[in-house]
């Protein structure tokens, strides 16, 4: 501990629920996080010094909503195939969606390709440095723009994801969670905590701490470098009764069924793309949407000609919607949103 006066506070604006923080505490916490990160950072490829800004942007978009372990193999494949934005912009969307695999939220893949085209066309194939220009790219919001500015270009940015918000909230405000929506006031408050130097290490370290130690459910405070400095620990780790954990409905939702339809299209395209014929990669809409009772012997033969993975993917769709009416409607939506396209013989990836 420093022996500076602990009554000295930052110039952070007064923010409801977010206390002013003594400067000395801030300096201690910054040092602890940065030192911890230097010893405990996972050796991820996008953290290598030679990682391109493009590779970092791709990683950040993939990592939205998705754990590192699932991102890693797809990110490697993407970087091998599309090492620059222009490479991705030139790829067929079907290849992009297949390479996205089951990362989830396939719209992110399409937006990433739109972003690649924008960078190739308007930014000389170079990922922009400025947060406001990054923010203008499709699929890039406040978090991703700040993360790229910080991690790819070393700019002093306020990187606030749910991990950082949770760590800062616990350490400085003794609260278990932050409310769902990120306000401008909270961003200003957090911005006052970003050090003038080593801000990249601070940003990355706070995220890493939130991901590995200061987790939402079972924080490993025994291993935490901030345990002695943590207001939440000092307060006895109070749980916040106002926090309602949202449990998204999943079973029976359109999202679930859409995912199953997309899996059919990916599987079919991947396995059947041996010729240029539309027919080869299309799946008869009828096989997906006909009520089970109306499937004919011809339909059964058509199914039998397909490979087992495709049949299983189709069966998954039919299990979720034996009636076929929802499937038909969702296929319309997918086509409208550019995730699928119609051909003379059925439905396929765009």
User: What residues are labeled active site?
Assistant: 60
Q: Which of residues 290-349 bind DNA (CB under 7 A)?
A: 333
Task: Please report whether residue 144 would count as binding DNA according to CB under 7 A.
Answer: yes
Render 288-327 in DSSP notation, one character per residue: HHS-GGG--HHHHHHHHHS-HHHHHHHHHHHHH-TT-HHH
Query: What does the block give as tokens for 215?
Result: 């987790």
Among 59, 145, 204, 227, binds DNA (CB under 7 A): 145
The piece of 39-47, 76-84, 88-96, 100-108 that touches DNA (CB under 7 A) is: 100-108
Q: Which is nearer to DNA, 25 or 157 (CB)?
A: 157
Q: Which is nearer to DNA, 139 or 324 (CB)?
A: 139
Contact of 266 with 97, CB cutoff 8 Å: yes
Per-residue string for binding with DNA, 150-169, x by CB under 7 A?
-----------xxx------
| Residues 31-90 close enough to bind DNA by CB under 7 A | 64-67, 69-70
Interface pick for DNA out of 37, 46, 143, 151 (rule CB under 7 A)? 143
Yes or no: say if 89 and 118 are a contact pair by the CB < 8 Å rule: no
The minimum distance between CB 140 and DNA, in angstroms, equals 5
40: nearest Cα among 178, 263, 214: 214
Place of tokens 């699928």: 340
Give the residue with the Cβ less far from DNA, 253 or 292: 253
Min dist CB 263 to DNA, Å, is: 6
Q: Which 202-261 positions form the footprint of DNA (CB under 7 A)?
A: 211, 215-218, 245-248, 250-251, 253-256, 258-260
Q: How far apart are CA 230 and CA 205, in angstroms?
A: 16
Tell which one of 24, 41, 142, 221 touches DNA (CB under 7 A): 142
The two tokens of residue 236 are: 């006895």
Cβ–Cβ under 8 Å, residues 139 and 69: no
Beta carbon of residue 113, minimum distance to DNA (angstroms, whole number): 13
Closer CB to DNA, residue 212 or residue 280? 212
Length in residues, the chain: 350
**Dihedral, 106, 135, 49, 207 alpha carbons, nearest 10:** -80
Residue 181 or 344: the one with the smaller Cβ distance to DNA is 181
Token representation of residue 78:
């993407």
Please list the residues that pair with 341 across neighbouring strands: 348
Cβ–Cβ < 8 Å for 67, 162:
no
Query: Given the rule CB under 7 A, which residues bind DNA?
Result: 64-67, 69-70, 102-107, 111, 138-145, 161-163, 181, 211, 215-218, 245-248, 250-251, 253-256, 258-260, 262-263, 333
């Amino acid at each position: 501990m420093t022996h500076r006066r602990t009554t000295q506070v930052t110039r952070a604006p007064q923010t409801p629920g977010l206390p002013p923080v003594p400067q000395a505490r801030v300096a201690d916490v910054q040092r602890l996080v940065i030192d911890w990160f230097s010893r405990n950072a996972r050796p991820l490829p996008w953290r290598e010094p030679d990682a391109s800004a493009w590779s970092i942007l791709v990683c950040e978009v993939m990592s939205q909503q998705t754990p590192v372990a699932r991102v890693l193999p797809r990110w490697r494949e993407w970087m091998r195939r599309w090492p620059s934005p222009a490479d991705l912009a030139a790829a067929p969307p079907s290849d992009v969606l297949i390479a996205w695999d089951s990362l989830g939220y396939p719209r992110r893949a399409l937006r990433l390709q739109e972003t690649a085209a924008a960078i190739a066309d308007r930014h000389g194939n170079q990922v922009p440095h400025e947060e406001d220009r990054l923010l203008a790219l499709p699929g890039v919001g406040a978090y991703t723009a700040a993360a790229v500015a910080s991690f790819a270009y070393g700019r002093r940015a306020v990187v606030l994801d749910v991990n950082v918000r949770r760590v800062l909230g616990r350490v400085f405000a003794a609260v278990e969670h932050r409310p769902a929506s990120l306000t401008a006031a909270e961003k200003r408050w957090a911005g006052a905590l970003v050090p003038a130097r080593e801000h990249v290490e601070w940003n990355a370290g706070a995220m890493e701490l939130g991901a590995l130690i200061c987790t939402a459910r079972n924080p490993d405070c025994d291993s935490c470098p901030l345990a002695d400095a943590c207001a939440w620990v000092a307060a006895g780790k109070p749980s916040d009764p106002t926090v309602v954990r949202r449990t998204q409905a999943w079973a029976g939702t359109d999202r679930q069924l859409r995912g199953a339809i997309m899996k059919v299209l990916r599987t079919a395209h991947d396995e059947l793309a041996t010729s240029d014929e539309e027919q080869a990669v299309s799946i008869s809409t009828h096989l997906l949407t006909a009520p089970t009772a109306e499937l004919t012997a011809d339909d059964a033969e058509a199914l039998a000609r397909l490979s087992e993975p495709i049949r299983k993917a189709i069966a998954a769709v039919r299990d979720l919607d034996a009636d076929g009416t929802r499937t038909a409607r969702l296929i319309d939506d997918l086509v409208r949103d550019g995730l699928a396209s119609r051909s003379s013989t059925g439905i396929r990836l765009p």
